[in-house]
Amino acid sequence: MNRNPTKSPRANILVVDDTPNNLRLLSTLLTEQGYEVGKALNGQLAIKSAQAAPPDLILLDIKMPQMNGYEVCQQLKSHDQTKQIPIIFISAIDEVLDKVKAFQIGGVDYITKPFQREEVLARVENHLNIQALNNALRQEQKKSENLLLNTLPKTIVEELKQHQRAIPKEYDEASFLFSDIVEFAANSSSMPPTEVVDLLNQVFSAFDQLAQHHGVEKIRTIGDAYFVAGGVPLVRPDHAAAIAEMALDMQQAIAQFRWPNGQPLALRIGINTGGPVVAAVLGTKKFAYDVWGDTVNIASRMETQGAPGKIHVTTATYEQLQDKYQLQKRGVITVKSKGEMTTYWLVGRRW
């Protein structure tokens, strides 16, 4: 029977058998078909070999001293590095219960000795093709997951994977930051649209790196506005400090960018702390993660009623930051829909 080895180019197969003659026979058969073949005379060597250089497929004998084939399979299936390797059992044992056990512990096929050359090659080729398709599917799933991670928090992606939906969650307290680029419309109106997009991409990419560094979550961007949460979706007691660090570093980062006229970009930042707030995923075709609550609205007001180059915070945020950060009292201001509020400027760190 003529087989075309190019269907599985340079596939690496590990043959495990404690009988040298069987090992040599299978090795020669597979090598003649263009496969790269590794050999192991016992279970311990097989596990070490598979972990050091995972093969594309394993042909595994059952009756071996010290560690039988079932135990080898269970060991390999218990480790992330080797659990996806297809294992074909090849044994003189022809009992139904033994075959059932082989499949129950993770084997993909079972060949009975004495084996036929054509049967071994056909089954090997078939499972290598299946494995190639599974690998391609896993790659596509990984791409899809990475796309989701660009839109949603990691914990939410995991919840969607497990339950196909994310349950809205209430948080007792968190901190929120809104920022926008000062005079963005006026300064960008004379720029080509592609340059405006490129500038925003550079700025927001820098902010994204800061968010990852400080363990806070970017919720969304709207135009030149950037919205970040601390303590959502991952609860952390130091959410106010994390957002403060984010704000201070954002002010440093934005100073590295210039308008075409050479003037540096500047941010207006507002922060508020409180709760409760509710976070949830909206949509079924295009997902969006967002947070709602009066605390969020006030954080937005702090930004719009702030000042260029400054970080405007509420009394609630001030109370959590005052021991470790330098803050200056702004005084009483009238906040839309809230009335009079005492607010502060976050200036820097005390250390």
Quote the CA–CA distance of 341 and 63 in Å, as a whole number.
Answer: 79
Exposed, middle or buried by CB within 10 Å (0-12, 13-18, 19+), for 193? exposed
Q: Which residues are catalytic?
A: 180-181, 224
CB 58 within 8 A of CB 85: yes
DSSP letter for 268, please: E
Buried (b) or exposed (e) across 73-101, using 16+ Cβ within 10 A? bebbeeeeebeebbbbbbbebeeeebbeb
Output phi, psi for 106, to 5 deg.
Answer: 120, 0
Q: Is 320 exposed, middle or buried (0-12, 13-18, 19+ CB in 10 A)?
A: buried
Q: What share of the chain is helix, strand, coil (3-state, %, to 5)?
A: 40, 25, 30
> Does a cis peptide bond (omega within 30 degrees of 0) precede residue 9?
no
Q: Which amino acid is at 290?
A: D
Whether the CA torsion 268, 294, 329, 247 is positive or negative: it is: negative
Rounded CA separation 26/24 (Å): 6
Residues 6 or more apart whose CB falls under 8 angstroms from that of 247 comprise 177, 179, 269, 271, 311, 346
Task: Evaluate whether 300 touches 270 at the Cβ level (below 8 Å).
Answer: yes
Max Cα-Cα span within the chain: 90
